[in-house]
Structure formats: structure tokens, C-alpha cells
Amino acid sequence: MKHLTVVEHPLVQHKLTLMREKDTSTASFRKLLREISLLLAYEVTRELPVTTKQIETPLCAMEAPTIEGKKLALVSILRAGNGLLDGILELIPAARVGFVGLYRDEETLEPVQYYFKVPKNLEDRTVIAVDPMLATGNSSVAAIDLLKQAGAKNIIFLCLLASPEGVKRMEEAHPDVPIITASLDEKLNEKGYIVPGLGDAGDRMFGTK
Ligand code: URA
């Protein structure tokens, strides 16, 4: 898989535009995020290994394709990751789910872990880490570090928007982790927001400020 894939599907781009608009309501934002996450889930699972199994249709026996290996692990990077997670789980209901919670230390500006719970046998699963915004890349890199420490070997990072700075940081720290995003935006501003972006993803999906 390429290191960076931008999903340029017209439906994804159309929904993303609606999400970016500042007057889009919390309810619409949430609904659009769910819809877009289904489309991104289709893309992120495109290269999963497939095997076959013997089944019987009402007409005959056949060797039919089925996804190989252990159930996928979806890992939400809290809290905004949960918005992407919900939609993906609708499409992959048997996936195992983990959570990584990180906050930024006000003094060192480094991400600090406050929660970490992931499925067993991570080393045998494809792990899809989800966070809508790849901004500075600090929390994404730290979350992937933790997943690798927990044994994950095959990780894909899924986000809605990425900044060039975040992509570069991920590429340097985790060149083996492909990134799938709906848009590579222009830049980060001085406060670490993605520009043009969509604002604070967590605030917009949960209606907080
Ligand atoms: N996190 C967000 O929610 N928005 C940004 O623009 C950057 C980080």
C-alpha cells in the first residue's frame, strides 16, 4: 500500500465539503461523519488478504472468497476517533475494538497516555487506527508507538483530514504505516489547526466548545 492515499471519490469529497462548512449543525456533522466513515472503511479494507472457503449455495457447492486471518482490530484515538469508529463498526461489526487516550502536557507539549485498552493478539491482526485529524502528528505518532509496543505489526492509519506536517512526521516515525485520508489540506496554523480544515473535530461532533 502507498504511504499516503487520498480518497478522491466524489461522494467522499462532497460530504467532506458539507462537514467543513462552519454552519453545518452538530447533528448533520455527525451524520455526515458516519456516512463518510463507511466510504473510508471500504477504502481502508481494500487490500485485506482474502482466502476461500467451501460453501453451498441453493444451487451447488462453490469455493467462495472470505477475509483471511483473525478479526480486524479497530483502535480509536480518543476522543474524536470515536466518530469515525462508529461508522466503520457498522460495516465491520465483528471487528475487535481498542482505545488509546492521550492528552497534551501543557508544559512539555508532549502527548501523555491516560488510557490504553486494546484487543488480544494484536500481532496477528490488521490494526486500523482512527483519528479524524492528522494535524501535528504528535498524538498519532505516540498512539502508533503504543500500538507497536503492544505487539501490532500491521497498522493502517485512517483519518479524515491530514496536514503536510502531520504526514511528514508520520512518514519519518512510522514509514511502515500507510495513511488513508479524505484530504491532504494546505497547512497547520500557529495553533496547530489544519487549514482550511473543519475546526475542532471533537467539538463539532460532540457539540462542545
Ligand atoms: N484537531 C482538530 O480537531 N482540528 C484540527 O484542525 C487539528 C487538530
Report ipTM (2 d.p.): 0.94
Ligand 1: centre distance to CA 93 (Å): 28
CA-based nearest residue to 162, from 204, 130, 209, 190: 130
Q: Which pLDDT score is estimated for 32?
A: 97
Residues of the chain with pLDDT under 70: 109
From 82, 102, 193, mutation site for ligand 1 pocket: most ligand atoms within 8 A of C-beta? 193
pLDDT tens per residue across span 79-96:
889 999 999 999 999 999
Ligand 1: centre distance to CA 134 (Å): 8
Q: Which pLDDT score is estimated for 183?
A: 98
User: Which pTM does this prediction carry?
Assistant: 0.94
Q: What is the rounded CA–CA span in Å between residue 160 and residue 131?
A: 8
Q: What is the rounded CA–CA span in Å between residue 62 and residue 190?
A: 58
pLDDT tens per residue across span 108-118:
767 899 999 99
Q: Which pLDDT score is estimated for 29?
A: 97
CATH code given to domain 4-48+67-206? 3.40.50.2020
Whole-number CA gyration radius for the chain: 18
From 22, 109, 133, mutation site for ligand 1 pocket: most ligand atoms within 8 A of C-beta? 133
3 state DSSP class of 115 = strand
Cell numbers found for residue 21: 462548512
Angle subtended by helix axes 164-173 and 138-149, to nearest 10: 30
* 170 burial type by CB count under 10 A (0-12 exposed, 13-18 middle, 19+ buried): buried
Are 112 and 138 in contact, with CB atoms under 8 Å apart?
no
Cβ atoms within 10 Å, residue 204: 23
Q: What is the rounded CA–CA span in Å between residue 103 and residue 55?
A: 48
CA-based nearest residue to 12, from 95, 84, 76: 84
Active site residue 200: yes
The domains of the chain are located at 4-48+67-206
Element (H, E) at 86: helix 81-91
Ligand 1, residue 195: give the atom nearest the CA: 6
Numbered residues of the known binding site for 5-phospho-alpha-D-ribose 1-diphosphate: 79, 104, 131-139, 200
Question: Phi then psi for 109, rounded to 5 degrees?
Answer: 65, 10
Q: Which pLDDT score is estimated for 111?
A: 86
Ligand 1: centre distance to CA 75 (Å): 18
Q: Which pLDDT score is estimated for 106?
A: 75
Q: Whose CA is nearest to atom 2 of ligand 1?
A: 200
Active site residue 204: no
